[in-house]
Amino acid sequence: MSTPETNPAPNPSNSDHVRDIAEVAAVEIITTAAVHLMSAAAVKCGLAEGSDAEELKDLDEARKLITALAGLITAAAPEVGSQHAAPLRDGLRSLQLAFREASTIQDAPGKGPGEKLTGPVN
């Protein structure tokens, strides 16, 4: 016979967390991840509000985030449908243009962040 000391009860917060995740639609998880990547990339492009926006700018980090975002959107677009993919693509394009504007050294056409996945952005 087991006692509470030898066989502890499962952690209810873990099982609640798993159940909560299971109830969330894939499209919601994908768009939430994309929005987090967009927000982080915007900050790293120097688009944050406040007097410290320039201090937060890090174009190397922004490039990585934008490329990851482009990969997510490109891969997920057929699965989430145009209703959800179109605004994500618009946000991605805006970030790619913001990156280009913030960069002192211009990438060649098609060589900017995420452009090998999306094509050149003008």
Which pTM value belongs to this model? 0.83
* pLDDT tens per residue across span 8-67: 555 556 667 676 888 999 999 999 999 999 999 999 999 999 899 889 999 999 999 999
pLDDT above 70 (res 5): no
SS3 58: coil
45-51 contact pairs (CB < 8 A, 24+): 45/95, 45/98, 45/99, 45/102, 46/102, 47/98
- Contact assessment for residue 122 and residue 71, using Cβ atoms and an 8 Å cutoff: no
In whole angstroms, give the CA distance from residue 74 to residue 90: 12
User: Tell me, what DSSP letter sits at residue 106?
Assistant: P
* pLDDT tens per residue across span 78-106: 999 999 999 999 999 999 999 999 999 99
In whole angstroms, give the CA distance from residue 25 to residue 55: 37
